[in-house]
């Protein structure tokens, strides 16, 4: 099952990103639930404190939601984190978070760190990001750029097929060497944790 989490900010086009699949579970988070309802999409679970929507918008969310979990505004964790905890407790193959970037930097950074928790990606109209554990991966790139960042120090990084290839280098957490690459190819490495960011201009 693929779990799709739609969150804020409301700066992305759901109609161009969302394709309905048979084996999916849809979670709308706060303003993300409104974006789904606005596009007449059925929501399996709407969750959040809903401080980003007005009463009319919340009424629309209720109309398209199978279940609603309203959270207290005073809480220790973000709405997106709590929605993700629900997703991680389920039997899933993949989790995709739509939105989650382009608004407040602190929320975007917090969402990026959530990628460490499982097989999770963040997708918006102009960006996609995910993390890789050691191994070898065939990477498709539908965006202009692809950048790699070491979340944990990377050992023996090999890039083949990209505009800029490398062979058996170490990439440290403070090293910007692998930013703004292009094309697609193979990524392999032996140790560490790698953040992959696909992005347009």
Whole-number pLDDT of residue 6: 96
pLDDT for the residue numbered 13: 85
Can you tell me which residue has the tokens 């969402």?
A: 111
| Of residues 148, 101, 96, 98, the one with CA closest to residue 120 | 96
Q: How far is CA 193 from the centre of its chain?
A: 16
Q: Using alpha carbons, select from 67, 14, 3, 10 the residue that is nearest to residue 39.
A: 14
Residue 75: what pLDDT? 84
pLDDT at res. 94: 95
User: Domain spans of the chain?
Assistant: 2-125, 131-199
What pLDDT score was predicted for residue 192? Answer: 97
Instruction: Say how far apart CA 53 and CA 28 lie, in whole Å.
Output: 13
Give the distance from CA 190 to its chain's centroid.
Answer: 24
pLDDT of residue 117: 93
* CATH code of the domain made up of 2-125: 3.40.50.10240
- Check for a shared fold between 2-125 and 131-199: no
Q: Could you give the CA distance from residue 35 to residue 7 in angstroms, rounded to a whole number?
A: 9
Q: Which residues of the chain have pLDDT under 70?
A: none
* 131-199 to CATH, choices 2.60.120.320, 2.60.40.3080, 3.30.420.40, 1.10.10.10: 2.60.120.320
Token reading at 54:
């007005």
What are the structure tokens assigned to 178, written together?
């692998």
Which residues lie closer than 8 Å to 48 by C-beta, 6 or more apart?
29, 30, 33, 70, 71, 79, 83
């Amino acid at each position: 099952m693929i779990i799709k989490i739609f969150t804020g900010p409301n700066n992305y086009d759901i109609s161009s990103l969302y394709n309905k699949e048979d084996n999916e579970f849809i979670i709308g988070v706060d303003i993300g639930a409104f974006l789904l309802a606005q596009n007449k999409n059925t929501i399996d679970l709407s969750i959040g404190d809903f401080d980003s929507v007005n009463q009319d918008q919340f009424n629309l969310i209720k109309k398209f939601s199978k279940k609603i979990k309203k959270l207290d505004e005073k809480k220790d964790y973000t709405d997106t984190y709590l929605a993700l905890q629900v997703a991680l407790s389920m039997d899933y193959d993949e989790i995709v978070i739509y939105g989650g970037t382009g608004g407040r930097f602190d929320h975007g950074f917090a969402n990026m760190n959530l990628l460490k928790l499982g097989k999770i990606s963040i997708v918006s109209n102009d960006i996609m990001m995910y993390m890789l554990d050691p191994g070898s991966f065939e990477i498709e790139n539908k965006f202009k750029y692809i950048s790699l960042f070491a979340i944990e120090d990377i050992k023996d990084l090999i890039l083949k097929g990209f505009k800029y290839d490398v062979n058996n280098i170490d990439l440290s957490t403070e090293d910007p060497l692998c930013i703004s690459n292009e094309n697609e190819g193979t990524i392999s490495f032996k140790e560490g944790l790698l953040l992959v960011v696909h992005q347009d201009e």
